[in-house]
Amino acid sequence: MKRKGKLVANIIGVTLCGTIIMAVILTVIGVVSINNAYLDTFTEELRAAAIQLRDESNHEYDGDWTIDDDGILRKGGEDIHDEYQGQFDDIYSQTGISYTVFAGDTRYITTMKDSSGKRMEGSKAGDKVIQTVLNGGQEYLASNFDIGGVKWYAYYCPLKNDDGTVMGMVFAGREAAAITNKIRTITLLMVGVALLFVLII
């Protein structure tokens, strides 16, 4: 009986170890897969927001983007700052996505604010963004990117005039903390489920 009891104990021990190893492997795979899928979906959300902003900004008024002698950004000769600012603020309040229109490398219209609560108009884009979007005419995803001392996930699209020249950029972004907090919640949930499963076994 003693030998039989020891055999049963060994079988249970091996089974439990196998269950724990399997739970760990499945949890790691699940966390990585879910996080990647979440980031992909999030990137598509920012890209869609940036493209929509670019298209609507381009088509609301006919004519080219220009900066006049007083440093005012105009579309088709119209001073669009206050109108666009109101629209951006309204969308931001509903979606939590921040928006910016750049002329060249400079923020002219933005929902973004610095630590003092002042809008970040007049601040500059980073070198990588300038090289890729302004000089290269390509879209660009900035991941965990520092802007004004805060980490951001941001999508940039070139803003072009009718002749195809890149005169600026549009930006759609969220603070990285919102992303990392969501991923942390998903990870803790997956780990909790795995631990519960192991305890039940």
Task: Give the number of other CB atoms < 10 A from CB of residue 2.
Answer: 6
Percent of the chain with pLDDT over 70: 94
Confidence of residue 106 (pLDDT cuts 50, 70, 90): very high
Task: Give the number of other CB atoms < 10 A from CB of residue 170.
Answer: 25
Q: pLDDT at position 101, please?
A: 94
Residue with tokens 């699940």: 30
pLDDT at 172 over 90: yes
- Would you tell me the crossing angle of helices 176-200 and 2-60 to the nearest 10 degrees? 160
Q: pLDDT at position 32, please?
A: 75
CB 73 within 8 A of CB 65: yes
Q: pLDDT at position 16, please?
A: 76
For 111-126, how does the pLDDT look when each residue is reduced to its tens digit (9 = 90+)? Answer: 998 888 899 998 898 8
Task: Give the number of other CB atoms < 10 A from CB of residue 158.
Answer: 22
pLDDT at 87 over 80: yes
For 11-69, how does the pLDDT look when each residue is reduced to its tens digit (9 = 90+)? Answer: 777 777 777 777 777 777 777 777 776 677 778 888 888 998 888 888 888 888 988 88
Q: What's the rounded mean pLDDT across residues 137-166?
A: 88
Contacts of 75 (CB under 8 A, 6+ apart): 57, 60, 61, 63, 64, 65
Confidence of residue 3 (pLDDT cuts 50, 70, 90): low
CB 49 within 8 A of CB 174: no
pLDDT at 157 over 90: yes
Q: pLDDT at position 37, please?
A: 67
Q: pLDDT at position 58, please?
A: 82
Q: pLDDT at position 4, please?
A: 64
Q: What's the rounded mean pLDDT across residues 92-111?
A: 91
Q: Is the whole model's pTM more than 0.85, yes or no?
A: no
Give the DSSP per-residue string, the chain: -HHHHHHHHHHHHHHHHHHHHHHHHHHHHHHHHHHHHHHHHHHHHHHHHHHHHHHHHHHHS-S-EEE-TT--EEETTEE-HHHHHHHHHHHHHHH--EEEEEETTEEEEES-B-TTS-B-TT-B--HHHIIIIIIT---EEEEEEEETTEEEEEEEEEEE-TTS-EEEEEEEEEEHHHHHHHHHHHHHHHHHHHHHHHHH-
